[in-house]
């Protein structure tokens, strides 16, 4: 099924050639896509006329079908894209309408030519080929995100800092430093974002690319009261786990607490907090009740798939990560072997390797999320419109609309009848 270099005939889908050049022809849909920042996922067709154009398009994209390793990756992405469509996007009846030539093309470049449909061979082939290529495009973005190749080292360094302030006392966990100890209702860590979730996240927003996924790693801290969430933020800031210099400002979200109202309540009860001999659980609960009567609702959240009922404080932190240079060991071994080879050529090569070997560590920034909630707000994330399950379904429906496009959805309705899409 792999692309065969000795037989470079792309089935009927690649046999048309351009009969003439049109130097003053302008494709206005192309111009609109380039100049208005339209995402590739929102395109309805490609503009590929010939076999040579399909090959050049693939090479410039970064996948050369003439290279066996590239060819293998392309077929793997094709198979994974079909599985994703079948499991998350299409019903069984819809998937059955996908032409065999799209499910198992003779050559991988057939998909590119079918997605253009310059031969007017089949509109159905063109629509399905586009959908498959859109998902393949997202998979390539994920697979070639270099930072994710160091994920184990990243995860270890991110969570190590928080282990300093996470203290277990019997059956209870506390956020604690040498100044304060705040009891936690729940503490959970996201150790990684699963692959289907990454694909859905990249598909549902037009401006999102792999580098914009900020919640590969993260943690959620749940406390009894909203005021304790503010105290927790102060503790994290005091221990330099959150600071102005390592925050992504445009990613800070607060739908949990009206800060102005909270400030007024806090001023009234500050003296009582300061003189409390024990942890002021009841006082903090009283402050929360008073806050509930004076707060305005927050509508700051700009994620269209997050329910208005979802309440949380969310910050995105940038942490400097230091990973081991993966090439250092191999280069050091090669230099050692060259030491035993006489001659100027070996000496010259050894000198070049020594000068280019680089540092033992590779530093870069990595983003992760911290969410803080009170107990009542957390309960709303388990059931109802603010639950994670409901959020994922809204996200899936948005991804479906973008991947299929209006024409393929209309085709399904004409063949299978209307269906409810949320």
pLDDT top residue among 109 and 339: 109
- The beta-carbon contacts of 300-308 under 8 Å, at least 24 apart in sequence, are 300/253, 300/254, 300/255, 301/253, 301/255, 302/253, 304/398, 305/204, 305/391, 305/394, 305/395, 305/398, 306/386, 306/391, 307/384, 307/385, 307/386, 307/390, 307/391
Q: What is the rounded average pLDDT of the residues 39-61?
A: 81
What is the pLDDT confidence band of residue 11, given thresholds at 50, 70 and 90? very low
Instruction: Answer whether residue 420 shows pLDDT above 70.
Output: no
Q: What is the pLDDT of residues 389-415, one digit of tens each?
A: 887 888 899 999 999 999 999 999 999
pLDDT of 14 reads: 40
Highest-pLDDT range among 160-169, 213-222, 292-301, 388-397: 160-169
pLDDT top residue among 382 and 280: 280
Contact 214/157 with Cβ under 8 angstroms?
no
pLDDT of 334 reads: 67
pLDDT over 90 percentage in the chain: 50
Mean pLDDT of the chain: 83
- Single out the residue of 307, 304, 111, 143 nearest to residue 209, CA to CA: 143
pLDDT of 1 reads: 33
Instruction: Answer whether residue 211 shows pLDDT above 80.
Output: no
DSSP 210: G
Instruction: Answer whether residue 282 shows pLDDT above 60.
Output: yes
- DSSP element (H, E) containing 298: none
Instruction: Answer whether residue 263 shows pLDDT above 60.
Output: yes
pLDDT of 70 reads: 95
Give span(s): CATH 3.30.460, the chain.
Answer: 146-257+298-319+365-386
- For domain 146-257+298-319+365-386, the CATH class is alpha beta
pLDDT of 164 reads: 93
- DSSP element (H, E) containing 152: helix 151-163
In angstroms, the CA 84 to CA 78 distance is: 10
In angstroms, the CA 208 to CA 213 distance is: 8
Q: How many residues does the chain have?
A: 422
In angstroms, the CA 143 to CA 168 distance is: 38
Q: What is the rounded average pLDDT of the residues 356-367?
A: 78
pLDDT of 193 reads: 73
Lowest mean per-residue pLDDT among 202-211, 399-408, 412-421: 202-211
Lowest mean per-residue pLDDT among 181-185, 207-211, 353-357, 368-372: 207-211
Instruction: Answer whether residue 371 shows pLDDT above 90.
Output: yes
The pTM for the full model equals: 0.73
């Amino acid at each position: 099924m792999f692309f065969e270099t000795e037989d470079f005939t792309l089935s009927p889908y690649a046999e048309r050639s351009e009969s003439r050049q049109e130097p003053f022809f302008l494709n206005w849909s192309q111009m609109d896509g380039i100049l208005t920042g339209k995402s590739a996922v929102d395109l309805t067709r490609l503009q590929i006329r010939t076999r040579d154009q399909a090959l050049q398009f693939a090479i410039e994209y970064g996948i050369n079908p003439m290279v066996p390793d590239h060819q293998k990756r392309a077929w793997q992405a094709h198979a994974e894209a079909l599985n994703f469509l079948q499991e998350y996007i299409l019903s069984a009846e819809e998937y059955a309408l996908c032409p065999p030539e799209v499910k198992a093309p003779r050559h991988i470049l057939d998909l590119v030519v079918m997605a253009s449909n310059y031969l007017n061979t089949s509109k159905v082939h063109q629509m399905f080929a586009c959908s498959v290529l859109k998902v393949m495009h997202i998979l390539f973005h994920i697979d070639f995100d270099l930072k994710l190749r160091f994920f184990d080292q990243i995860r270890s360094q991110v969570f190590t800092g928080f282990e300093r302030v996470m203290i277990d006392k019997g059956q209870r966990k506390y956020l604690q430093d040498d100044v304060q100890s705040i009891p936690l209702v729940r503490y959970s860590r996201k150790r990684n974002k699963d692959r289907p979730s990454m694909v859905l996240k990249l598909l549902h927003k037009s401006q999102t690319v792999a580098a914009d996924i900020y919640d590969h790693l993260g943690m959620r801290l749940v406390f009894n009261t909203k005021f304790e969430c503010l105290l927790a933020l102060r503790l994290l800031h005091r221990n330099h786990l959150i600071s102005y210099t390592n925050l992504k400002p445009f990613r800070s979200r607060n739908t949990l607490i009206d800060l102005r109202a909270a400030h007024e309540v806090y001023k009234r009860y500050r003296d009582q907090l300061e003189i409390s001999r024990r942890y002021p659980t009841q006082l903090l609960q009283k402050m929360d009740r008073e806050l509930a009567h004076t707060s305005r609702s927050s509508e700051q959240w700009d994620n269209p798939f997050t329910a208005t009922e979802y309440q949380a404080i969310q910050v995105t932190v940038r942490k400097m990560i230091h990973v081991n240079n993966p090439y250092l060991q191999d280069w050091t071994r090669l230099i050692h072997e060259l030491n035993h080879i006489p001659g100027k050529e070996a000496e010259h090569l050894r000198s070049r390797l020594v000068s280019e070997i680089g540092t033992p560590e590779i530093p870069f920034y990595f983003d992760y999320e911290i969410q803080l909630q009170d107990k009542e707000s957390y309960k709303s994330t388990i059931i109802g419109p603010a639950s994670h399950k409901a959020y994922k379904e809204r996200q899936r429906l948005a991804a479906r609309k973008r991947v299929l496009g209006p024409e393929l959805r209309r085709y399904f309705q004409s063949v299978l009848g209307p269906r409810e899409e949320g």
